Structure 1
């Protein structure tokens, strides 16, 4: 990593000078404090569906664990935290993930996907993304490689999603959305004009609709990511359905388990029944 501004900030974190709620541990990982929880980051690769090359990583917040398999913090706090506390947690995690990603070698030219919690859509007043953009500018980090991933919504939240997406876009961020099915993915493609659409592989079981979505997304310069791919048979069915199309991406336990290190995701990991049973809640 060759970034003087980030290096200087990491030095301050190591000396506990930057923030009492953010510090570097003995392994060099940034950790954050939220109430009585100690948080860190795990990253899962997003790969080309054609040759499995790593194109990006998605970040997840985890309660700290030496073996990288801490609990999903959002699941623990989703029903306990109020809106203000959820916004605070979302912003802390965003900064934590950014630091843990860009401090690692090989991150400079890869995309980083950061999830936006559903509570943040309505809880934030004013300009979404402005504060985060200012932090990135101070740390001299490339906002153009960060994809802010908006949550799956109900029909009543359509206008909120559109408003938030436009705010993030005005602040220079790329936008990702989550679709519940292929039909919703096509609607989001037209209405939100995202840079990426994610859809569970189990909800994408219509080969003709898949190809139509991929063709439309390609013309709109939007990446389609099929997620939660847990076994080789599902991956093969996806390849067979799109044997004439290579412009889609994949993510799941078949390829990678979430890890603190980006290097760990460079190899393709076999999915096992034990791994999947143990880590089903990580996505």
Structure 2
């Protein structure tokens, strides 16, 4: 059985009340409560180039809906939560996504992308990533498979981004960044040295610049992910522009809608006897 310690923790959550901060619902999904909203996870695949094989999933926080039609919880709460509350929500979402990802037995060696909210960059003064790393260590989950995605920044935030990225790197995490343009992506590759770089496909209009970015990323051993691919036209245009030996990855509604289930779960065996309490670690 995969992730034995996590399975035990899930057995404890099964007995938690729905009024708790964290519990399992009757479908086996981890759910959390924040500002009287019930939260859970949805996952969208990240696929590799032309053959479109799944290499990773990105976790999103959603209000609970039994039919995977929940709302983006950050859009609901971003304007009512202060910085401290946003940091608490950010950490709760990371724990939810981690549990909901690794509880599914068919995950294998796939990576998990988790976003870091922009408010957390400046609001946390201490060692970024230390609390999350402690949770993963307690649950005996592989931090090497987790990519922490940093948000898009303004030029004045460059030093903050570099500082936070180095903190996460010291705690053993891989780093992802988001670029508003191909040109910004090139700058981030040089300054932050990320493990992955995301660029909106709508900004990728110049094949020569895209190929130069892929070449730079290849030298830096960084994955480039073109995201928000929503139409056949966008996908065909990208394929034609990137007729290259350099690898790239894609993500978007054309290929996958975010949903709670990755693949059908394998049968789970009985959990061990020891118990863990993690709720306090994520705040």
Q: TM-score, normalised by structure 2?
A: 0.91
Q: Does 1:126 align with 2:95?
A: no
- d(CA) in 2 for partners of 1:260, 1:4: 21
Cα deviations by residue, 1:183-220 (Å, 9 ceiling, x for unpaired): 00000000000000001000111100000000110111
Matched residue, 1:95 = 95
Moved more, 30-39 or 100-109: 100-109
- d(CA) in 1 for partners of 2:3, 2:48: 28
- d(CA) in 1 for partners of 2:246, 2:32: 39
Matched residue, 2:8 = 8
Task: Give the alignment of 1:164-175 within 5 angstroms.
Answer: 164-175=164-175
- d(CA) in 2 for partners of 1:32, 1:137: 21
Q: TM-score, normalised by structure 1?
A: 0.91
Give the 3-state SS of the residue equivalent to 2:55 in structure 1: strand
Matched residue, 1:244 = 244
CA RMSD of aligned residues (A): 1.2
Q: Does 1:52 align with 2:52?
A: yes
Task: Give the alignment of 1:1-283 within 5 angstroms.
Answer: 1-16=1-16, 20-263=20-263
- d(CA) in 1 for partners of 2:69, 2:177: 26
- d(CA) in 1 for partners of 2:151, 2:22: 26
Give the 3-state SS of the residue equivalent to 1:262 in structure 2: coil
Cα deviations by residue, 1:54-83 (Å, 9 ceiling, x for unpaired): 000000000000110111000111111000
Give the 3-state SS of the residue equivalent to 1:160 in structure 2: helix
Cα deviations by residue, 1:14-38 (Å, 9 ceiling, x for unpaired): 0118x92000000000000002100
Aligned residues: 263
Give the 3-state SS of the residue equivalent to 2:7 in structure 1: helix
- d(CA) in 2 for partners of 1:214, 1:244: 9
Give the 3-state SS of the residue equivalent to 1:131 in structure 2: helix
User: Quick one: higher RCO (CA 8 Å, sep 6+), 1 or 2?
Assistant: 2
Moved more, 155-164 or 1-10: 1-10
Residues 102 and 108, structure 1, Cα contact 8 Å, conserved in 2: no
Give the 3-state SS of the residue equivalent to 1:230 in structure 2: coil
Runs of 5+ unmatched residues, structure 1: 265-283
Runs of 5+ unmatched residues, structure 2: 265-283
Residues 214 and 246, structure 2, Cα contact 8 Å, conserved in 1: no
Give the 3-state SS of the residue equivalent to 2:43 in structure 1: strand
1:246 to partner: Cα distance: 4.7
Residues 50 and 247, structure 1, Cα contact 8 Å, conserved in 2: no
Cα deviations by residue, 1:96-150 (Å, 9 ceiling, x for unpaired): 0000000002213000000000000000111000000000000000000000000
Give the 3-state SS of the residue equivalent to 2:39 in structure 1: strand
